[in-house]
Structure 1
Amino acid sequence: MKALVINGPNINFVGIREPGIYGSDSYDDIVALCQRTGLELGFESVECFQSNHEGDIVDKIQEAYGAIDGIVINPAAYTHTSVAILDALKAVSIPAVEVHISAVESREDFRQVSFAGMACFAKVTGEGIQGYAHALRLLAEKLDEPAA
């Protein structure tokens, strides 16, 4: 099994940006957690990717087609705006889990709509960076399910 963890805008500034909301862990801590958790779950590889550019995220999702078994995605600000990311996730039909460091459901009204989440089978919010480990566990369980 191969997993891809995609992070959108400003996730590279986690630990610097609004630590009261996002905590003090860094982006490097997220990458290390994902890779460690992936190994524990039996993933052959866990690739982590971050971009502040919507088109780069769409390109990365498309590149995953036929090469990656599952996606964990934190679209960050693009969660609430990007039909392009939604369409890319739908196009590749790779099982995906949406993850957010903060509890977006209890934040501003504009954060209540998730376009990317419409193409994901699960959503993890408000667990800090540990949410990534949770999302990878959900993904591993989904990938281990027998085909219907």
Structure 2
Amino acid sequence: MDLLILNGPNLNLLGRREPGIYGTRSFESFFPELEAAFPEQKLTHFQSNHEGALLDKLHEVGFSHHGIVLNAGGYTHTSVALADAVAAIATPVVEVHLSNLAAREDFRQKSLLGRHCAGSISGFGLESYRLAVQWFVNQQPKRVGFRV
């Protein structure tokens, strides 16, 4: 199964950016652990601070991959364009956030993307990514002695 983890603005600073909110570990140090936890899945990741690059990546994989795990960062609350892109593609998307958005500032409690996603996971730090990947794995048809 091909899964893309797509990270938006400022997520390249994980481990250094506001560690009290986002933790002390970088995504790059976590990703090999995620790959090891799901060895049968083809996991790739992409990060950009630029909205257009995120849109281009959604368009690129949105009809070929089995799933997208999307942490749009601050664009979650502001980008109609990203919400439209998620709505337009065929690939299911799970929205993830490291912090618990319900416990954050008022403007962070509204997601423009969520209504177009299969689901949203927030508040579990980097484990939010693992939970999202596990959901995609659970959606695979069960193969017991035959091919589907």
Q: SS in structure 2 opposite 1:132?
A: helix
CA distance in 1: counterparts of 2:53 and 2:32, whole angstroms:
22
The AA in structure 2 aligned to 1:30 is F
RMSD over aligned Cα atoms = 1.4
Residue 28 (str. 1) matches residue 28 (str. 2): yes
Matched position secondary structure for 1:93: coil
| Cα distance between partner residues in 1 of 2:118 and 2:62 | 17
- What residue is the counterpart of 1:49 in the other structure? 46
Is it true that 1:93 corresponds to 2:90 in the alignment?
yes
| 1:15 partner SS | coil
5 Å-filtered alignment, 1:79-118, equals 79-118=76-115
Q: Deviations over 1:80-101 (max 9, x none)?
A: 0011111111111211111101
State how 1:68-147 maps to structure 2 within 5 Å: 68-144=65-141
CA shift for structure 1 position 33: 3.3
Identity %: 42
Structure 2 gap ranges (5+): 143-148
Q: In 2, Cα distance between the equivalents of 1:69 and 1:26?
A: 25
Deviation at 1:122, TM superposition (A): 1.2
SS at match of 2:5: strand
**TM-score, structure 2 normalization:** 0.90
- The 8 Å contact of residues 9 and 48 in structure 2, kept in 1 or not, is answered as yes
Task: Report the Cα distance in structure 1 between the residues aligned to 2:111 and 2:32, rounded to whole angstroms.
Answer: 26
Paired residues, number = 142
Give the number of the structure whose alpha-carbon radius of gyration is greater: 2
Which is helix-richer, 1 or 2?
Answer: 1
Query: In the alignment, what sits opposite 1:37?
Result: 37
Deviation at 1:143, TM superposition (A): 4.0
In structure 1, list runs of 5 or more residues that go unmatched.
Answer: none
